[in-house]
Amino acid sequence: ETGVTQSPTHLIKTRGQQVTLRCSSQSGHNTVSWYQQALGQGPQFIFQYYREEENGRGNFPPRFSGLQFPNYSSELNVNALELDDSALYLCASSLELAGNSEQFFGPGTRLTVL
Amino acid sequence: GDSVTQMEGPVTLSEEAFLTINCTYTATGYPSLFWYVQYPGEGLQLLLKATKADDKGSNKGFEATYRKETTSFHLEKGSVQVSDSAVYFCALGAMGTNAGKSTFGDGTTLTVKP
């Protein structure tokens, strides 16, 4: 059973560019959540996808968007990058759409915006 | 809205010392509560969880009890080891339409010295 994987590991972009981050969920998991973790802070919920549809969104602007594919893998897209978007982006997968369902986290993608 | 407040760090202890990291929460309903651990350069790993009042979660010598009356979920370990050095996050899992969204505290950095 493979765990949650994310790509790329590190990424450097400049302000105003667009970026796509990828996540493969743990085998059999149909729910994927994305989090932004700024340096020295806890992860902040961006949004969640369940069976290819967005199900719940945190306090992030529309330039943060996502997709979930039929195999339950997911992408996070960020347009018009800003310096404050520099952070570790974490993907987490779970089996059920439930608050008490354990989430399994990937290692994250470190995004630096210059 | 939901929120989690963690004891501010960093915490530095000698090996075999007793550890307590305080966590209190604000939430509607009856969320599940979690402790995650993050080692340097890695994603989050679930350490333990509790899904209802008075439940005790335990793993690897760590324990935490879900106290509804004090809205707390303090993490304890009787004898810490150098390998326990990491950042610890308290989190709650939402219910209802926000199921799957987790709210995290800002983390507490623990350093254990030999």
Question: A50–B91: do the CB atoms touch at under 8 Å?
Answer: no
Separation of alpha carbons B30 and A112, rounded Å = 37
Phi, psi at residue B55, to the nearest 5°?
-65, 145
Q: Do A90 and B94 touch (CB under 8 A)?
A: no
Beta bridge partners of B90: B35
Q: Which class for A57: exposed (0-12), middle (13-18), buried (19 or more C-beta within 10 A)? A: middle
User: What string of pLDDT tens digits covers the 114 residues of chain A?
Assistant: 578 999 999 999 999 999 999 999 988 888 899 999 999 899 999 999 988 899 889 999 999 999 999 999 999 999 999 999 999 999 999 887 655 667 889 999 999 999
User: Least CA distance to A34: which residue of chain B?
Assistant: B101
> What CA–CA distances, in Å, run from B49 to A8, A84, A99, B63, B66?
30, 32, 12, 9, 9
Rounded to a whole number, what is the distance in Å from the CA of A23 to chain B's nearest CA?
A: 13
Flag if A43 and B99 touch (Cβ within 8 Å): no
| Interatomic CA distance for residues B73 and B4, integer angstroms | 10
Indicate yes or no: CB of B43 within 8 angstroms of CB of A56.
no
The reply to whether residue B46 touches residue A99, judged by beta carbons under 8 angstroms, is no
- What whole-number distance in Å separates Cα of residue A58 and Cα of residue A60? 6
Left (φ > 0), alpha (ψ -120 to 50) or beta: where does B83 sit?
Answer: alpha
Nearest residue, CB atoms, B99 vs list A4, A41, A97: A97
- Tens digits of per-residue pLDDT, B16-66? 999 999 999 998 878 889 999 999 878 899 999 998 899 999 999 999 999
Which of B44, B89, B95 lies closest to A99 in CB terms? Answer: B95
